[in-house]
Amino acid sequence: MSPTSLATHPLERAGLRAVRALCVALLAFLLAPVLVLVPLSFSDGSFLTWPVPGWSLRWYDDVLHSDAWLRAARNSFIVAPAATLIATVLGTLAAVGLARADFIGRGLLTSLLIAPMVVPVIVVGLATALAFAPIGLGDSFTGLILVHAALGAPFVLTTVTATLDGFDRNLIRASASLGADPWATFRRVTLPLIAPGVVSGALFAFATSFDDVVVTLFLAGPTQVTLPRQMFTGIRENITPAIAAVATLLVGFTTASMLALEWLRGRRER
Amino acid sequence: MIRPVVSSLLLIACAATAHAAPELVIVNFGGANGAAQRKAFYEPFERTSGAKVVAVEYNGEQARVKAMVEARKVTWDVVEVESPDLSRGCDEGLYERVDWSKLGGKAAYLPAAVHDCGVGAFMWSTVMAYDTSRFPGGGPKTWADFWDVKRFPGKRGLRKGARYALEFALLADGVKPADVYKVLATRDGADRAFRRLTELAPHLQWWEAGAQPVQWLVANDVAITSAYNGRIDAARREGRPLAVVWAGSLYDFDYWAVPKGSPNRDLALRYIATAGVPDHQAAFARLMPYGPTVPQAVARIDAETLKHLPSTPANMTDALKFDARFWADQGEVLEKRFAAWAAR
Amino acid sequence: MTPPAVDAPTLARAVRRERRRRTAGGLLLVAPLLVFLGLTLLLPIGTLLARAVHDPQVATALPATAQALDAWDRVAPLPDAARVALQRDLLAATDDARIGGVARRLNGDVPGARSLVMGTWRALHHDPAAAGFDPTAPRAAALEAFDARWADPAVWIAIARNAAAFNPDDLLAAVDLRRDAQGGIARVPADESAFGRILARTLGVSAAVTALCLLLGYPLAWWISTLPPQRAALAMIAVLLPFWTSVLVRAAAWVVLLQREGLVNQALIAAGVIAEPLALIFNRTGVVISMTHVLLPFMVLPLLAAMRAVPPTLMRAAVSLGSPPLQAFVRVWMPQTRAGVAAGVLLVFILALGYYVTPALLGGADDQMLSYYVARYANVEIDWGMACALAVVLLAATLVLYTLYRRVARDTVLGA
């Protein structure tokens, strides 16, 4: 039952219509920047200008044959999955642990663990760049993966904690009383129940790493340039429709993953 | 989930171990300039030396060099450095001293291209540029015209920061090119420059990267802008009606420098020597209109190309050399003042 | 046989023991993340805090001078011992990197100190006799004879001030304060003070973006909460698609949309709304528009979570009790979403405070926020002390707000 049907006064109805119009406009506002680059990526000119002078696939050809872009894509698909894996394992364990723990400092501990979400990335970038260089972790995949994992873990922690909140503890007791050891209980009972939280947390962690440019700017060496880092250089140094082509590919990738996710969820619910 | 992780870990392992041919990491400013360097310098060097050049783009951040030199883990072998950064970096021990005997002696180069820690790569210039179709009655000719928004309406582009902006402001205020730095060193002179900037502030749009002012001119976002002459030329070759004003331009050199502790020092010097070969410098000038640092190269450049080089005498008559030493001393204070001015 | 009687205290003890055991087990699971975050983030941030106030460069490079200046009250004439000690220190420093660091540090206080120090060091090491120096027995007068700028007490005050390894100058400068010659704290003159205004601007832009996000996000979240599930899912995709799309992609897109002859201006001109193109980008407008776009989903998500938790019968109950719908909405329904509003507002505000990429690419010279200057001092000026000091200010502002956030948002999803 939606509250809209309660509006009876003509003025209220007009107000509702206005709100609806505003919301549709807002959705357009949210989508416009994502979609506007798509036609530009098929331009045959060298500048990002509207209207598009003529159509061609030359910028896709450029990007798909460019060492720099391919290397950046490869690096992104090394760093993001590795960081996601670490973040997901550590974040899930911590969430399960926090749910079991019951002591006075719990709130404080939670605050500490999710603090990386709110520390400005630039501070993280500068701090890790200064601290990692002397111990040989500057300009390395390891350093970048570790920091991205640290930035992603709190997302996993929060999403898993949220699913654990609605979790029936009697299930664990039932499992234990039926003779399952703790690991089997975790694998067979806890994990399937918190899986949605783990998956969405992992997605957040993946996006955190995949989208990060600031930490990469400070921490990555010449061989660790990721897609966002390459785009940053591109937008500043060499503004061409190649940027639009990469953007279109990324938007396609994002949309496909989101649709796949929706589809998976729909199947699970059925 | 597991499979991609395993394969990415394998990829990391491969990236770490697979080094067959010697690799030389050369760091440049990217864009059309980087592409021209690849054709004119890297490719001939790869052919003669058998080494593989890995080109890396950066935006001139010396912090990276400092971090790797301090950590003694130097992964950059040759860096394209702007002159103020080279002087500072040399003072602070970021760069190796150049062994000129391996480069055929200092005499082969222009005097300004010779530095304790660097070898001139090319000469470039920051010029005033505009779209000729926008001013059919004749475009701006001086920095005073740049400041004249009545005669030449439209937005103005300048590089974000005190460097360049203050020099141009003084030129617009009628200071002779030869006196600019003398005036700017005084309190009154700096005040004068900032007053000029304040006048123009509502019309100014500040750029940070070399590609921006050209994109803005082409998109009609600004009417007149300062820009690197090479960038304007690249757009001009694409058929854009852009013009360059040489009077009052600020020229400078970019240098090749080797970060201290580079494991490939000798290979780096061999690369620098290759980049100093007159034929290669001439080839570079044809691709990117930046002036050669080896006088012998000039004879190998055609007249049409010469017309667009900042090193051509006709283009240098009213030009000003960017004073790296002035900025090394006054940079911190004037940049801080610029930040304060922008925040006012 | 009757079971053994369990008295209440024994039971309570058993329960407590069991709870302690579970807590210990739980903490064991938390430990890996805690240690991991400690090593990858907390330790580096600790280093950063230290670097904001600790810079031993001058003290280690010029030890004798530091000692000689220790007794000087900075008012009386400079003791000759200091002049001699400086020459000894410069002669002893064979590593140019060390002296270069000192020169940079001093140049921040006294413009020209860089060339003065480097020039003197070079003369002492290359051809001292020609420059009037005697390396074996340095004379006090030689310095001023070589370069008259050594007569300026400001240079010596700068050395004395920076000779202390722990030194709050950068941190003070980050909030527009400085120490005068006698060590008292004073405001910097107006034409040099920037960071106070930059901090104010950072807070102002963040507040504007947060307000705009709330103003737009609230009706949007409400509207989505009233949609039937399938259409709500569709609307959520529209909200989330940009959320998952790289910030850089969107920055490039805004340039295309908002530039002088961009799509927005073209559309507005074609519609006859404006005659001259509006300046929408590379100024405050562009920064606010693009940041609102980036942060709007962060507002909508907690709002939506809160709104979905409000019982749908609440409104009907209020209306059936005789309250007009609008009034019921404002007085009964909206207060139920307060926690979501609080969570969204603080989350957006905190995230906005640290924004770097969007203002750097889409703002003008007077739209840059604190993050921009952190990056600038770190990467361009290579003044890491100053970069760290500004980062500390940013971090402090964020942590204050975060503490506030934890208090207000304890019950919402993002508050965990």
| C212, C163: one domain | no
Across the interface, whether the CB atoms of A239 and B4 are under 8 A apart is answered: no
Check: CB of residue A216 under 8 Å from CB of residue A190.
Answer: no
**Does residue C356 belong to any structural domain of this protein?**
yes
Supply the DSSP symbol for A240.
Answer: S
| C142, C95: one domain | yes
| C153, C211: one domain | no
Q: Mean pLDDT throughout C203-211?
A: 95
Share of chain B above pLDDT 70, in %: 94
| C219, C345: one domain | yes
Q: Mean pLDDT throughout C180-202?
A: 82
Residue C2 predicted with pLDDT over 70: no
Q: Mean pLDDT throughout B74-80?
A: 93
Average confidence score pLDDT of chain C: 86
The burial class, CB within 10 Å (0-12 / 13-18 / 19+), for C16 is exposed
Work out the pLDDT band at A167, boundaries 50, 70, 90.
Answer: low
pLDDT of residue C206: 94
Q: Mean pLDDT throughout C385-406?
A: 88
Q: Of residues B92 and B167, which shows the higher confidence score?
A: B167
| C272, C310: one domain | yes
pLDDT of residue C3: 58
Q: Mean pLDDT throughout A204-231?
A: 87
**Nearest-angstrom CA–CA distance, C357 and C354:** 10
Chain A within 8 Å of B149 (Cβ-Cβ)?
Answer: no
Across the interface, whether the CB atoms of C114 and B91 are under 8 A apart is answered: yes
Across the interface, whether the CB atoms of C48 and A6 are under 8 A apart is answered: no
Chain C within 8 Å of B266 (Cβ-Cβ)?
Answer: no
First and final C-alpha spacing in chain A = 23
Question: What are chain B's partners, defined as 3 or more CB pairs within 8 angstroms?
Answer: A, C
pLDDT of residue B2: 41
Q: Of residues C75 and B37, which shows the higher confidence score?
A: B37
**Does residue C4 belong to any structural domain of this protein?**
no
**Does residue C144 belong to any structural domain of this protein?**
yes
Shortest CB distance from B329 goes to which of C111, C381, C383?
C111
**Does residue C8 belong to any structural domain of this protein?**
no
pLDDT of residue B135: 93
- As beta bridge partners, residue B207 has B159
**Nearest-angstrom CA–CA distance, B238 and C284:** 33
| C124, C272: one domain | no
Check: CB of residue B244 under 8 Å from CB of residue B125.
Answer: no
Across the interface, whether the CB atoms of C379 and B155 are under 8 A apart is answered: no
What angle (nearest 5°) sits at the alpha carbon of residue A204, between those of residues A201 and A207?
Answer: 150
Which among A86, A138, A120, A130 is positioned nearest to A212, based on CA atoms?
A120
Across the interface, whether the CB atoms of A133 and B219 are under 8 A apart is answered: no
Q: Of residues C245 and C171, which shows the higher confidence score?
A: C171
Work out the pLDDT band at B271, boundaries 50, 70, 90.
Answer: very high
Tell me the domains of chain B and their CATH numbers.
18-123+253-311 (3.40.190.10), 124-251+317-342 (3.40.190.10)
pLDDT of residue C409: 60
Interface test with C, best of A100, A213, A240 (most C CBs within 10 A): A100
For residue A261, the tally of other CB atoms under 10 A from its CB is: 14
Which among B65, B40, B9, B120 is positioned nearest to B288, based on CA atoms?
B40
**Does residue C51 belong to any structural domain of this protein?**
no
Q: Of residues C261 and B99, which shows the higher confidence score?
A: B99
The burial class, CB within 10 Å (0-12 / 13-18 / 19+), for C292 is buried
Domain around C126: 57-167
The two three-digit tokens of residue B113, written as one number: 């291209």
| C140, C252: one domain | no
Q: In what helix (H) or strand (E) does residue B130 lie, and over which residues does it extend?
A: strand B119-131
Work out the pLDDT band at B262, boundaries 50, 70, 90.
Answer: very high
The two three-digit tokens of residue A256, written as one number: 């496909």
| C246, C149: one domain | no
Q: Specify the pTM.
A: 0.86
The two three-digit tokens of residue B225, written as one number: 């802008």
Tally of domains within chain C = 2
Chain B within 8 Å of A236 (Cβ-Cβ)?
Answer: yes
Question: What are chain C's partners, defined as 3 or more CB pairs within 8 angstroms?
Answer: A, B
Shortest CB distance from A222 goes to which of B1, B54, B235?
B54
pLDDT of residue C183: 72
Picking from B29-33, B178-182, C346-350, which range would have the lowest pLDDT averaged per residue?
B29-33
Which among C208, C148, C153 is positioned nearest to C359, based on CA atoms?
C208
Residue of A nearest to B236 (CA): A46
Work out the pLDDT band at C315, boundaries 50, 70, 90.
Answer: confident
Q: Mean pLDDT throughout A238-251?
A: 85
Check: CB of residue B168 under 8 Å from CB of residue B248.
Answer: yes
Q: Mean pLDDT throughout C223-250?
A: 85
| C118, C210: one domain | no
For A167-180, b/e burial (b = at least 16 CB within 10 A) is beeeebeebeeeeb
| C139, C228: one domain | no
Residue of A nearest to C352 (CA): A120
Superfamily designation of domain A59-269? MetI-like (1.10.3720.10)
Picking from A20-29, A178-187, B62-71, B173-182, which range would have the lowest pLDDT averaged per residue?
A178-187
Shortest CB distance from C45 goes to which of A12, A123, A239?
A123
| C108, C241: one domain | no
Residue B261 predicted with pLDDT over 80: yes
The burial class, CB within 10 Å (0-12 / 13-18 / 19+), for C277 is middle
pLDDT of residue A262: 73
Q: Mean pLDDT throughout B3-17?
A: 43
Work out the pLDDT band at C4, boundaries 50, 70, 90.
Answer: low
Chain A within 8 Å of B205 (Cβ-Cβ)?
Answer: no
Residue C219 predicted with pLDDT over 70: yes
The CA distance from C313 to the nearest CA of chain B, in Å, is 43
Residue B9 predicted with pLDDT over 80: no
Average confidence score pLDDT of chain A: 85
Question: What ipTM score was computed for the predicted complex, to two decimals?
Answer: 0.87
Query: Residue C284 maps to which CATH number?
Result: 1.10.3720.10
Q: Mean pLDDT throughout C62-85?
A: 90
Residue C307 predicted with pLDDT over 70: yes
Shortest CB distance from C402 goes to which of A98, A118, A214?
A118
Which among C30, C339, C1, C97 is positioned nearest to A94, based on CA atoms?
C30
Q: Mean pLDDT throughout A213-239?
A: 83
pLDDT of residue C416: 35
Work out the pLDDT band at B259, boundaries 50, 70, 90.
Answer: very high
User: Could you give the residue ranges of the DSSP H alpha helices within chain B?
Assistant: 2-17, 31-37, 43-49, 62-70, 83-91, 143-147, 165-172, 180-184, 187-200, 211-218, 229-237, 265-275, 278-287, 303-307, 313-316, 324-342
pLDDT of residue A6: 63
User: Of C151, C167, C183, which residue is a domain's last?
Assistant: C167
Residue of B nearest to C118 (CA): B91
pLDDT of residue C373: 92
| C252, C298: one domain | yes
Across the interface, whether the CB atoms of B59 and A141 are under 8 A apart is answered: no
Which among B137, B322, B120, B140 is positioned nearest to B246, based on CA atoms?
B140
Interface test with A, best of B73, B94, B228 (most A CBs within 10 A): B73
pLDDT of residue C221: 93
pLDDT of residue A270: 47
| pLDDT tens track for C30-44 | 999 999 999 999 999
Q: Of residues B13 and A10, which shows the higher confidence score?
A: A10
B205 vs C contacts (CB less than 8 Å): 282, 364
**Does residue C342 belong to any structural domain of this protein?**
yes
**Nearest-angstrom CA–CA distance, C113 and A264:** 66
**Nearest-angstrom CA–CA distance, C347 and C23:** 30
**Nearest-angstrom CA–CA distance, A50 and A60:** 19
| Three-state DSSP class for residue C120 | helix
Work out the pLDDT band at A5, boundaries 50, 70, 90.
Answer: low
| Three-state DSSP class for residue A232 | helix
